[in-house]
Amino acid sequence: MAVSEAQKRATAKWQKEKVEEVKFRVPKGECAVIQAHANQQGESTTAFIKRAIKETMERDNAEKHE
């Protein structure tokens, strides 16, 4: 089923209000490696990257308080 123009506008409005984007570059070929790893973990690429960032931040913060 096709998405209506009203639904597209509503989605765009929600994203503008609720979501920020972080863009970064990787060397050619690395994107495929990241995607493959995420798939092996049963995650989307976005979910994997978010988890990796969160876990790294938690570890860094824990090390500061030791």
Q: What is the pLDDT of residues 4-16, one digit of tens each?
A: 999 999 999 999 9
- Shortest CA distance to 47 belongs to which of 37, 58, 57, 32? 37
pTM here is 0.75
- Shortest CA distance to 46 belongs to which of 64, 21, 13, 17? 21
* SS3 assignment, position 57: helix
Cα(10)–Cα(12) distance, rounded to whole angstroms?
5
Dig out the tokens for 64 from the structure: 């500061």
Instruction: Please state, rounded to an integer, the average pLDDT across all residues of the chain.
Output: 95
Residue 52: per-residue pLDDT? 97
